């Protein structure tokens, strides 16, 4: 494995590009705003990861093909690859104007005339890269219909929760072809959750009932803010976190930047597929269902857990099974990639500050600072417990699952990066 990336990536052609920032991250940021805005309004977790992986696959393909060209050429090629990859995913929607505007805005800053001989070559390089990825992913099973039938309304069995969709989100996501030729996703499946009638499970449900309630009297303000802070799309959040750590360090090394964000988003996508495989294999009920279950089912035989109107802080409960937490799985995958990229086995990072604009409950902007990747991943997992939508064990095993998938994705990446 030719890593750590940040240290050993092949240097790009040295040039003074007019665009001063990291062009790859420019498109990471733009792509998030497209899907989280009013037109698309967000994507289910594994689909959002799939989308970003396709985008970064096209960007890296363009970066590799143009690596011997000037920085301006690389930036223009990458931008057209990103533009076309995004619109391939969302063609037929009203995103065209927004994506076109993002490309139009950055072209003057790049400084290479698209109509010039070199500019035309750069545009074609980017377009060809996006087309190659689109062709490879045309039959990756994301559009296949997979039916779902809820199991019996017994303790522990996943059921629809109040306010959620009638059927759970994208059950076909566990069958999507992984990136980087990862192979059979089921080999990463998390171990079985604690038995529903066990003492451990009872302790877990009591904890989330108290900590995760909308009107909790024991949850601290910091923990409430933790739930709010990490509520946004994990794909957006972890890409922003990576961008905050790296900054403009790779701005003049487009192939290195493209490789890093491709690795990160391949790992996130594969982790999302693996999380969905675990979720739909075990089909564990959500805390809201457990707390609203009318008859005694816990290990102790007591019925004091029952609360028919209990509501989680982060409402409504997401429309898919509890175990594992995909949020936690993404965190485990992202931090595993960041550790390898910086050759950092002790998790320490420079103090990194970033903010989340929280729209729920009119909370507003929350800013957090981290000096440890492990701390960030664990707080991300715990946020779902404080939000009342996951049991703690779903977060613990989610982190572990994400780490396993990411490590294997990285191991295979250099030989299979073009296995889109």
Element housing 348 (H / E):
strand 348-358
Q: Which of 419 and 358 is assigned the larger pLDDT?
A: 358
- Residue 370, helix vs strand vs coil: strand
Give the whole-number percent of the chain exceeding pLDDT 90: 88
Say if residue 3's pLDDT is above 90. no
Q: In whole angstroms, give the CA distance from residue 235 to residue 25.
A: 13
Residues 252-289: b if buried by 16+ CB within 10 A, e if exposed: bbbbbbbbbbbbbbbbbbbbbbbbbbbbbebbbbbbbb
Q: In whole angstroms, give the CA distance from residue 280 to residue 262.
A: 27
Task: Report all structural domains of the chain as residue ranges with CATH numbers, in order of start.
Answer: 5-136 (no CATH), 171-416 (1.10.606.20)
**Alpha-helix residue ranges (DSSP H) falling in 212-253:** 221-229, 234-246
Say if residue 199's pLDDT is above 70. yes
The CB density around residue 382, as the number of other CB atoms within 10 Å, is 21
pLDDT tens per residue, range 84-137: 999 999 998 889 999 999 999 999 999 999 999 999 999 999 999 999 999 999
Please tell me the predicted confidence (pLDDT) of residue 9: 40
Query: What is the signed CA dihedral for 259, 260, 262, 268, rounded to 10 degrees?
Result: 160
Q: In whole angstroms, give the CA distance from residue 175 to residue 45.
A: 14
Say if residue 1's pLDDT is above 60. no
Q: In whole angstroms, give the CA distance from residue 304 to residue 413.
A: 51
Q: In whole angstroms, give the CA distance from residue 127 to residue 99.
A: 14
Band the pLDDT of 147: cuts 50, 70, 90.
very high
What DSSP letter does each residue of 278-309 carry, written as one string?
HHHHH-BPPHHHHHT-SS--STT---TT--TT
Average pLDDT of the chain is: 93
Q: In whole angstroms, give the CA distance from residue 408 to residue 376.
A: 21
Please tell me the predicted confidence (pLDDT) of residue 7: 38
Element housing 71 (H / E):
helix 71-90
The CB density around residue 142, as the number of other CB atoms within 10 Å, is 19
In this structure, are residues 351 and 326 in contact, taking their beta carbons and an 8 Å threshold? no
pLDDT tens per residue, range 242-266: 999 999 999 999 999 999 999 999 9
Sign of CA pseudo-dihedral 55, 61, 64, 68: negative
CA distances, 200 to each of 5, 122, 215, 280, 374 (Å): 41, 59, 24, 22, 24
Mean pLDDT (whole number) for 271-298: 97
The residues, any chain, with a CB within 8 Å of residue 54's CB and separated by 6 or more, are: 85, 88, 89, 133, 134, 137, 420
Angle at 105 between CA 102 and CA 109, to 5 degrees: 130
Burial class (CB within 10 angstroms; exposed 0-12, middle 13-18, buried 19+) of 220 = exposed
Band the pLDDT of 160: cuts 50, 70, 90.
very high
Closest CA to 354 of 223, 227, 238, 231: 238
Q: Report pTM.
A: 0.95
Please tell me the predicted confidence (pLDDT) of residue 344: 66
Say if residue 165's pLDDT is above 70. yes
């Amino acid at each position: 494995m030719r890593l750590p990336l940040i240290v050993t990536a092949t240097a790009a052609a040295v040039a003074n590009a007019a665009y001063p920032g990291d062009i790859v991250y420019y498109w990471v940021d733009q792509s998030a705003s497209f899907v989280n805005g009013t037109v698309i309004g967000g994507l289910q977790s594994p689909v959002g990861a799939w989308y970003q992986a396709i985008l970064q696959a096209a960007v890296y393909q363009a970066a590799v093909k143009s690596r011997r060209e000037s920085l301006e050429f690389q930036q223009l090629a990458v931008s057209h690859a990103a533009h076309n990859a995004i619109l391939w995913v969302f063609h037929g929607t009203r995103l065209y104007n927004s994506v076109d505007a993002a490309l139009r805005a950055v072209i003057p800053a790049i400084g290479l005339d698209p109509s010039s001989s070199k500019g035309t070559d750069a545009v074609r390089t980017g377009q060809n890269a996006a087309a190659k990825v689109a062709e490879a992913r045309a039959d990756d099973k994301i559009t296949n219909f997979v039916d779902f039938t809820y199991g019996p309304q017994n303790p522990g069995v996943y059921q629809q929760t109040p306010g959620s969709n009638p059927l759970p989100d994208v059950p076909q996501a566990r069958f999507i072809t992984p990136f980087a030729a990862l192979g059979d996703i089921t080999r990463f499946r998390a171990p079985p959750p604690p038995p529903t009638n066990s003492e451990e499970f009872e302790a877990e449900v009591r904890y989330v009932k108290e900590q995760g309630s909308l009107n909790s009297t024991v949850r601290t303000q910091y923990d409430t803010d933790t739930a709010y802070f990490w509520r946004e799309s994990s794909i957006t959040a972890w890409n922003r976190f990576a961008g905050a750590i790296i900054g403009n360090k790779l701005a003049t090394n487009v192939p290195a930047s493209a490789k890093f964000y491709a690795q990160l988003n391949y790992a996130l996508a594969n982790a999302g597929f693996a999380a969905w495989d675990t979720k739909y294999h075990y089909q564990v009920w959500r805390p809201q269902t457990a707390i609203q279950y009318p008859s005694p089912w816990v290990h102790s035989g007591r019925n004091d857990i029952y609360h028919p109107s209990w509501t989680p802080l982060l409402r409504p409960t997401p429309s898919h099974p509890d175990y594992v937490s995909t949020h936690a799985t993404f965190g485990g995958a992202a931090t595993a990639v960041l550790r390898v990229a910086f050759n950092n086995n002790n998790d320490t990072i420079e103090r990194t500050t970033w903010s989340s604009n929280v729209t729920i409950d009119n909370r507003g902007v929350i800013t957090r600072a981290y000096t440890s990747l492990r701390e960030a991943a664990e707080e991300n997992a715990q946020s779902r417990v404080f939000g009342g939508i996951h049991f703690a064990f779903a977060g613990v095993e989610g982190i572990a699952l994400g780490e396993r998938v990411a490590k294997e994705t990285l191991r295979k990446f250099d030989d299979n990066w073009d296995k889109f």
